[in-house]
Chains A and B, each alone.
Chain A
């Protein structure tokens, strides 16, 4: 179907989108920033192991965009190979109220993990998390770093409304809601930290590559 000149790591996934395979989420985030500057690129979105570019068919021909995309991916890979030091993100300490109204799923999540709620909080506040990507809803940050030894299931019935500042876990990840929204993660607590500034150049405080440390608000 697609025997043209596309190298194997780039694939058309819609009439106006290409997917680029990447080795890991962090590499995808860096590549997405580069690709977002391509002429005619509307959005460059990193997922897990993939970056997708939506281009504007009314502004640039598909072949032209694909050429630019291939070149950018190649030069980005070369530049990354030469670079030895990765830029360091910022470090955030978020005070979290665990359990109760702010963390209605704390006990259930702990049960899934076969540990007590206190042990879950202890683990969650001990570990340095890193922001893998933003996505799903505005500013929602997926955090790596948990050392759970099994996966935490999502809620069977997702909530229509999860308040801003909520901290959840699902799979082996943590997540932080910058704004209120729907969600199926197990909510274990909530922070009052300002995570969104609508007038800032970077409206969401957490950014891929940043480090996040959680602390009990009542400590």
Chain B
């Protein structure tokens, strides 16, 4: 009989916990969304602390926390949205490497600010790759653990831990903080010109509130009504994470990592690449404003962001 592989079992999966890894790039012409961690930086930061590849499959825990038990000694790390973490009842910190014994209970509380916390385990989780990635895409039940969100009783196999040391904690300057107030930089979108003159001004001057709908596909933005001169639904046009769509009611929708590949509403703005990784932490009730960037400056913003992040997370450009 072969020895039982190291594993974790889920005691309570909370609102929505999924296995997430790298995005599925290069398949949008087939209708396949990027998917992957909604906050890819936080997944990478967690993986870094346990010595994994930055995109190794880990757990994305949404808003309400998670409880699980280890069945082998392992190193884990928690990053992303601020939450309490207890190991066998003892509080531990985010952004630290935690060495756990077999039989430990890890209990993550609800997100205090931000939306999604990430738990990485040394070696990463063993799940099938589908269409080039282990990430879960829930609407089509692709990838991850059986294509679905985790449930109590699920048993997740852990891959062999990588040899060698990994850092004990994330340096302070690489710990993103989510305070519920956001300034996201945008470039004008392909149908920016279809906004009325007043709405163009409102798009930039407006103070938005993240609406009730804030999921992996997109985030509704309340508080500002944008009017376009387009009548009804346009022909299908490509959309991407970061696209700001303006449906008929005038309430903007900012698309996230699970966004569909084509859409029929005017694309009035595009969040620049340097800022797209924050979309997955926008929480209902958060305040948001847009800052206009020209495209050249936006590219420099991204280059600067990469310069900063690469020092701690080499290869992060594959994820953000």
Give A contacts to B, CB under 8 Å: 11-17, 19, 32-33, 36, 42-50, 52, 54, 56-59, 62, 133-140, 142, 154, 178-182, 198, 203-204
How distant is the Cα of A47 from the Cα of B33 in the complex, in angstroms? 15
Assess whether A138 is in contact with B31, with CB atoms less than 8 Å apart. Answer: yes
Bound-complex Cα distance A11 to B187 (A): 13
Write out, one digit per residue, whether chain B residues 134-156 have a CB within 8 A of any chain A CB (1) or not (0): 00010111100000000000000
| B187 in contact with A15 (CB, 8 Å) | yes
| Min C-beta distance of A76 to chain B, whole Å | 16
> Is B131 an interface position by the 8 A CB rule?
yes
Given A45-B262, A49-B235: A134 and B29 interface contact (C-beta under 8 Å) = yes
Docked pose: A32 CA to B262 CA in angstroms: 14
- Known contacts A45-B28, A50-B238, then 17 further A-B pairs from the complex at CB < 8 Å, ordered by chain A residue: A13-B267, A14-B187, A14-B270, A15-B298, A17-B270, A45-B29, A45-B238, A47-B238, A48-B235, A57-B299, A57-B302, A57-B303, A58-B303, A179-B142, A198-B130, A204-B30, A204-B31
Closest to A49 in B: B235
Partner of B236, one of A13, A32, A47, A56: A47
Given that A15-B293, A181-B139 are known contacts, is A136 also in contact with B236, CB under 8 Å in the complex? yes
Which residues on B sit within 8 Å (CB–CB) of A13?
189-190, 267, 270
Q: Tell me the chain B residues, 274-320 only, with Cβ under 8 Å from chain A.
A: 293, 295-296, 298-299, 302-303, 306, 317
Q: Is there contact, CB below 8 Å, between A15 and B130? A: no
User: Could you tell me if A179 and B140 are in contact, using CB atoms closer than 8 angstroms?
Assistant: yes
Q: Which residues of B contact A203 (CB under 8 A)?
A: 30, 131
Asked if A43 meets B25 with Cβ closer than 8 Å, knowing A15-B272, A134-B30, the reply is yes
B28–A43 touching, CB < 8 Å: yes
With contact pairs A179-B140, A181-B139, A198-B131 given, residues A138 and B33 touching in the complex (Cβ less than 8 Å): yes
Given contacts A14-B270, A47-B262, contact A52 B299 (CB under 8 A): no
- A57 touches which one: B142, B242, B273 (CB < 8 A)? B273
Asked if A137 contacts B130 (CB within 8 A), the reply is: no
Pick 30 A–B contacts, CB within 8 A, sort by A. A12-B295, A14-B242, A15-B187, A15-B293, A15-B298, A15-B299, A16-B299, A16-B302, A19-B190, A43-B27, A45-B29, A45-B238, A46-B29, A48-B236, A48-B237, A52-B238, A54-B28, A54-B240, A57-B303, A62-B299, A135-B28, A135-B29, A135-B261, A136-B263, A137-B33, A137-B261, A179-B140, A179-B141, A180-B139, A182-B139
The answer to whether B31 touches A137, judged by C-beta atoms less than 8 angstroms apart, is: yes
Asked whether, in the complex, the Cβ of A136 is within 8 Å of the Cβ of B29, the reply is no
Q: Size class of B's contact patch?
A: 35 or more
User: Roughly how many angstroms separate A204 CA and B28 CA in the complex, as a whole number?
Assistant: 13
A19 proximity list for chain B (CB < 8 A): 190
B126 proximal to A (CB < 8 A): no
Q: Is the CB of B302 within 8 A of A45?
A: no
A64 → chain B closest CB, angstroms: 12
> How far, in angstroms, from A44 to B293 measured CA to CA in the complex?
24
Asked whether, in the complex, the Cβ of B29 is within 8 Å of the Cβ of A32, the reply is yes
Q: Could you tell me the distance in whole angstroms from the C-beta of B162 to the nearest C-beta in chain A?
A: 25
Give the CA-CA distance A13 to B29 in the complex, in Å: 18
**A139 engages B237 (CB within 8 Å):** no
A136 touches B299 (CB 8 A): no
Which partner residue on chain B sits nearest A46 by CB separation? B29
In the complex, A36→B25 CA distance in Å?
A: 11
Check: B157 CB closer than 8 A to any chain A CB.
no
Residue numbers in A under 8 Å from B267 (CB-CB): 13
- A182 to B213 CA separation, bound complex (whole angstroms): 15
Residue in chain B with minimal CB distance to A170: B233
Given A50-B237, A52-B238, A179-B140, check contact A139 B31 (CB 8 Å): yes
Report the minimal beta-carbon distance from A112 to chain B, rounded to whole angstroms: 16
Give Cα A11 to B302, complex, Å. Answer: 20
Chain B residues with Cβ below 8 Å from A56 are 317
Assess the B131–A137 pair: CB atoms within 8 A.
no
How long is the Cα–Cα vector from A46 to B263 in the complex, in angstroms?
12
Quick check: is B87 within 8 A (CB to CB) of the other chain?
no
Known contacts A57-B273, A180-B139, A139 near B30 by CB under 8 Å: yes
Residue of B nearest to A52 (CB): B238
5 tightest A-B CB contacts, nearest first: A48-B235, A15-B298, A14-B270, A179-B140, A135-B262
B245: interface (CB < 8 Å): no
The distance in angstroms between the C-alpha atoms of A90 and B240, with both chains bound, is: 30
Say if the beta carbon of B26 comes within 8 Å of chain A.
yes
Determine the chain B residues whose CB is within 8 A of the CB of A33 once the complex forms.
29
B92 at the interface (CB under 8 A from A): no
A residues within 8 A CB of B261?
A: 45, 135-137
Closest to B128 in A: A198
